[in-house]
Amino acid sequence: MKFFYGIFFLLLITALLISGYQANSRVQTTTLATRPVGIMGTSCTLFVVVKNHDLRRGTDLLEKAEQKLRECEILTSTWIETSEISRLNAAKAGETVHLSPFTMAFLREARDAYDRTCGAFDVTCGALWLYWEACEKENRLPTQEELDAIRRESNWEMLEFGEPGTPEENCVTKKTDGLRFVTGGLAKGMAIDEALKTLKEGGVALRAFVEVGGDVATYHCDKPVQIAGLEGKTVTCPNGGICTSGHTARFFVIQGQKFSQIIDPKTGQPVPRRWEITITAQDAATADFWATALEVLGKEKASVLPAGIQAEFLATE
């Protein structure tokens, strides 16, 4: 896998160097790139194309974009015990938790995505996911009654938002102890968008690209993008986001049977492992949550996608 990412990175940068010089032969440009490690436990590539007299500023932008990704991860990762989302998950009923603007933006965007997808994307499924994980360790299937009971304790009705424009606008209050959030399907896309926004600061970037775990955000990139982990699959997206959702990397194994880790919020059951879904949208956050939502809704419901958002389905079985 490391060899694959190395080849992918080399080909990508070579193509962009060539296109950068062809775009305007009178202006000398350079592609600056970095592959930081330790971000969200997966691959990461950042690059920006700048005019040669902006090399110093371009380098600074890369450093700031990498730091932005790390900051977003520290705030919203459920794998980091000290993150704000982990602190919110551990809070008791009636406890008010003050959050950073980014984490609040995540919760508000997640609530909006819930409405836009008719409930197919729901980050309050954290308690269900944790229960399936516990059942995996016990090697038993949860009953529908157990899942229904958990769902009653963990849903959007169990979270109270602070009023916008007041001192409490960055505060939330849990109504039940059992309310738990997952951040997959949105937090990474939002972090990628924040990093791309950073690369575009000051109008220095002629082109820019952010990739984390195969999900990307692009700026003035007219070359096809290789989807990491899906050999031979490319998507063209000059300005916007591309995210893929699927089941090949992670799943629950219970009594010898594999179950997707993507949970249907309405039933509490894992969705069938049928597709790898790639979404192209105006930004990575939108592509991220719609990719997960369509795993729940199914290919036959792809017509619910808003205008300007495209889906590609690749059968996995």
pLDDT at 19 over 90: no
Rg over CA atoms, the chain = 20
- 163-184 pLDDT tens trace: 988 999 999 999 999 999 999 9
Cβ–Cβ under 8 Å, residues 61 and 48: yes
Region 65-69 average pLDDT = 98
Q: What's the pLDDT score for residue 116? A: 96
Q: Alpha helix locations (H) across the chain?
A: 2-23, 55-76, 84-90, 101-116, 126-138, 144-153, 187-199, 284-297
pLDDT at 98 over 70: yes
- Report in angstroms the alpha-carbon separations of 286 from 35, 136, 149, 161, 220: 24, 31, 30, 22, 19
Residue 210's closest CA among 201, 198, 222? 198
Packing angle, helices 187-199 and 101-116, rounded to 10: 120
| pTM, entire model | 0.89
- 198-230 pLDDT tens trace: 999 999 999 999 999 989 999 998 877 666 555
Cβ–Cβ under 8 Å, residues 185 and 289: yes
Cβ neighbours of residue 166 closer than 8 Å, sequence gap 6 or more: none
Angle of CA points 236, 35, 110, to nearest 5°: 60
Calpha distance 217→260 (Å, rounded) = 26
253 phi/psi in degrees, rounded to 5: -120, 115
- Report in angstroms the alpha-carbon separations of 218 from 120, 197, 215, 274: 26, 10, 10, 28
- Whole-number mean pLDDT of the chain? 89
Q: Confidence band (pLDDT; 50, 70, 90) for 231?
A: low
C-alpha atoms less than 13 angstroms from C-alpha of 216 in its C-beta half-sphere: 26
Other beta carbons within 10 angstroms of residue 231's beta carbon come to: 9
Torsion from C-alpha of 148, 149, 151, 156, nearest 10 degrees: 140
Calpha distance 196→234 (Å, rounded) = 20
Cβ–Cβ under 8 Å, residues 259 and 160: no
Torsion from C-alpha of 132, 40, 308, 22, nearest 10 degrees: -150
- 78-94 pLDDT tens trace: 999 999 999 999 999 99
Q: Confidence band (pLDDT; 50, 70, 90) for 275?
A: confident
Region 251-277 average pLDDT = 91
Q: Confidence band (pLDDT; 50, 70, 90) for 248?
A: low
Q: What's the pLDDT score for residue 114? A: 98
Residue of higher predicted confidence among 12 and 81: 81
Range of lowest pLDDT (97-111, 146-160, 214-228): 214-228
Question: How distant is the alpha carbon of residue 224 from its chain centre?
Answer: 20
Cβ neighbours of residue 306 closer than 8 Å, sequence gap 6 or more: 116
Q: Tokens 């602190």 — which residue?
A: 87
Cβ–Cβ under 8 Å, residues 195 and 68: yes
Calpha distance 254→259 (Å, rounded) = 8
Q: What's the pLDDT score for residue 236? A: 75
Q: Does CATH place domain 84-174 in 1.10.3980.10?
A: yes
Q: Tokens 């109504």 — which residue?
A: 175
Structure tokens at 221: 């990139």
Question: How distant is the alpha carbon of residue 207 from its chain centre?
Answer: 22
- 28-66 pLDDT tens trace: 999 999 999 999 999 999 999 999 999 999 999 999 999
Q: What's the pLDDT score for residue 176? A: 97
Question: How distant is the alpha carbon of residue 128 from its chain centre?
Answer: 20
C-alpha atoms less than 13 angstroms from C-alpha of 243 in its C-beta half-sphere: 31
pLDDT at 15 over 70: no
